[in-house]
Structure 1
Amino acid sequence: NLVSQGNGSVFTNLKTDILKNHVVDVPTLSEQRAIAHILGTLDDKIELNRQMAQTLESIARAIFKSWFVDFDPVKAKMEGKQPEGMTEEIAALFPDRLVDSELGMIPEGWSPIPLSKMANFLNGLALQKYPPIGKDDLPVLKIAQLRSGKLDYDKLASNEISDKYLVSEGDLIFSWSGSLIVDVWAGPKCALNQHLFKVTPEKWATKGLLWVAIHEHIDNFRAIAAAKAVTMGHIKRSHLNEAMVILPSIEKVQNISGVLDILIQRSTTLKAESNTLINLRDTLLPQLISGKIRLNQPEDAAA
């Protein structure tokens, strides 16, 4: 309404009189407070979830570094000590000796495994070649949407793509170009765009282990991408072959890394809950402010 009353050949301007004469309907002060309380409570929960998810992910990364990089449990057992922060059953899966290797000293019986052997890295489609058809179209997951965790429903693709290019809540996604990000998708079903890998762990590996392992190499990947940057820096599949993770035998991997999977799954659940709350907040906001939804007893609601 205000824009329609503006004038100006280069920039649209509003005269002060237009603003003075523009009438805005507002709820009573008590209802305003009730609305603010409802929306503020949602915002508080969303922020709490974000902090909790971030904490869980930090714990997962710290555990991975301690167990799979610094080998603290092995070093503790070498000194005749019980490894801290784990059950006796998990501690028993770690050896009590380090041996020499091409990558330095590693736990006895463990081996370097490239990231490329731990999962299937499926590159997305050039979805501009699959325009929407007007029925059951899919929102497109690009790097920007992975970063924000929110889809843009103005960017759609046909649903007539192979199911393997569909992304669902819980899928591990790694952007290998531009902004290198790795995260578990916590949003609704969408289509995988190019420049993104959908990472499906091998049967012996876990999603949590892959999430942390890729994070362990992400700074190096970003440095490689930055060195190649002309328009958009990127990494190649060969870099996944060169990125090593020191792991025990396949039989022991899931038992040792199970705690990582639990932490990352919990983080994903919190993010998904936040997405639901964000959608609820964004739906309620205009309806509460416009009066389409009224609070019958605002004082009670605020309390």
Structure 2
Amino acid sequence: MSEWRTVRFEEILSSPLRNGVSYPSKMRGQGIPMVNMREIFAYDIIRDQECELVPLKEHELGNSLLAEGDLLFARQSLTYEGAGRCVLVGASERPRTWESHLIRARINRKLADPRFIYYYFRSAKGRRNIETIINQVAAAGIRGSDLKKLQVPIPPLRRQVEISALLGALDDMIAVNERIVITSRELGLALFAQAVAQEAGMEVSVESVSCVLTRGVAPKYSESPDEMMVLNQKCIRGGRVSLTPARRTLRDKVKAPKLLVRNDVLVNSTGVGTLGRVALWTSDEAATVDSHITIVRFDEAQVDPICAGFAMLRAQPEIEAMGEGSTGQTELRRTQLGELEISLPSKERQRELRPKLDSLEARAGQAVHESRALATLRDTLLPQLMSGRLRVKDAEKIVEDAT
């Protein structure tokens, strides 16, 4: 640690902190992608994710475009934990801007490595530093004027690059796995769509081919790791289940029909922005869902549950449009979901398709498992490297042994 020094954050910036652009909803839908709070809380590194489009004017392009290596901070959040969240801007094929609730920081690369600074603010030490400037009135937030004054500990530039390269290699492996997950699902959906298009199959309502169609439980939350995992709406994203936001509920309060079974389909059934998201449950782990999620369990005597699950994934845009209710209270009734018509290939074609879909989902599941292990390793090394307690060479050996 003797080589480390402490600097004010503004001392390592190449330009002043800058808030993003603001456009009314009615003006959005065309132009260039705008990174907003949705991406900030869904991803750690912003690459080529789909973003809302805004008509950024030509004279605004110079000051309002993101560059690889920029940092984005959440200026405001409804939760204390979200305020000041930091993400890294990665490479992208398209120019992008960012919304007004975010602060952009551009690092002077002659003084600091952007990826190192990103990892610092992701560490527990960096988060505690951010928490010293969070203001909480109606919502939690930070000000650029406070952010630029934060004291940031940094080693020599060469050491920064070594640390960020090691941690970045783990993140890059995770990114490769994410691409495998996405590609596997895209290929599966393409195979399913082709099978449906090639022959006259089946048009059935969800309820007519389901043996379970029910909302989840009202959880009795517990902090004990021995209790049952309960999924919530945040767990369903991109057609898959993320266990990171899951909590625990008392096991003896969960009745049999609401215990998840492999190949169940989970549908977010309340809330603006989350209603209608569909995911396949592909685990054998004991788990349930809360009452904001509907469980659809297909009857194997009538349809192949994997094929029916892919039919539900294809129908997600239709399901998202089915909600009804006042703003903020959107609701998808069980009977509505049961009436949904889905298209399936013939039973014979379903049997032929099943092994292919199973293989693709298994490969994606393996990639997800590998990513969790890599993320755990990264998050274990991060505080030790940031504190100087662990040398880069020793950390490299740990990574080599683990991968």
For the criterion TM > 0.5, the same-fold answer is: yes
Structure 2 Cα separation of the partners of residues 228 and 191 of structure 1 = 26
Measured on the aligned residues, the alpha-carbon RMSD in Å equals 4.1
C-alpha distance 67-23 of structure 1, shift in aligned 2 (>3 A): closer
Q: How many residues align?
A: 258
Report if the CA contact (8 A) 1:131-1:158 is conserved.
Answer: yes
Identity between Structure 1 and Structure 2 (%) = 20
Give the corresponding residue for 1:177. Answer: 270
Structure number with larger C-alpha Rg: 1
Give 1:29-108 correspondences, 5 Å limit.
29-68=157-196, 70-71=197-198, 74=199, 107=200
Q: How does 1:267-278 map to 2 (within 5 A)?
A: 267-278=364-375
One-letter amino acid matched to 1:234: L
Of residues 116, 119, 125, the one that matches 2:207 is: 116
Q: Which consecutive residues of structure 1, in runs of 5 or more, have no partner in the other structure? A: 75-106
> Aligned letter for 1:151?
T
SS, match of residue 255 in structure 1? helix
Match of 1:149 in 2: 242
Cα separation, 2, equivalents of 1:283 and 1:298: 10
Q: Which one of 295, 316, 319 corresponds to residue 198 of structure 1?
A: 295
Deviation digits for residues 161-210 of structure 1 (CA, Å, limit 9, x no counterpart) = 34554458875422233321112347875441112133434335444313
Secondary structure at the counterpart of residue 160 of structure 2: helix
Structure 2, unmatched stretches of 5+, are: 1-127
- Amino acid of the residue matched to residue 215 of structure 2? N
Relative to its length, the structure with more strand (as a share) is 2
Tell me the CA shift for residue 143 of structure 1.
0.5
Distance 1:236 1:12, change over 3 A: closer
> Distance in 2 between the 1:46 and 1:299 partners?
17
Q: Which amino acid aligns with 1:142?
A: N
Counterpart code for 2:221 = P
Kindly state the Cα deviation for residue 4 of structure 1 after the two structures are TM-superposed: 9.5
Give, in whole Å, the separation in 1 of the partners of 2:320 and 2:132: 49
Say which structure is richer in helix.
1
Structure 1 distance, partners of 2:232, 2:170, is 27
Instruction: Quote the offset at 1:138 in angstroms.
Output: 4.0
Q: Give the number of the structure with larger relative contact order, counting CA–CA contacts within 8 Å between residues 6 or more apart.
A: 1
2:322/2:336 contact within 8 Å kept: no
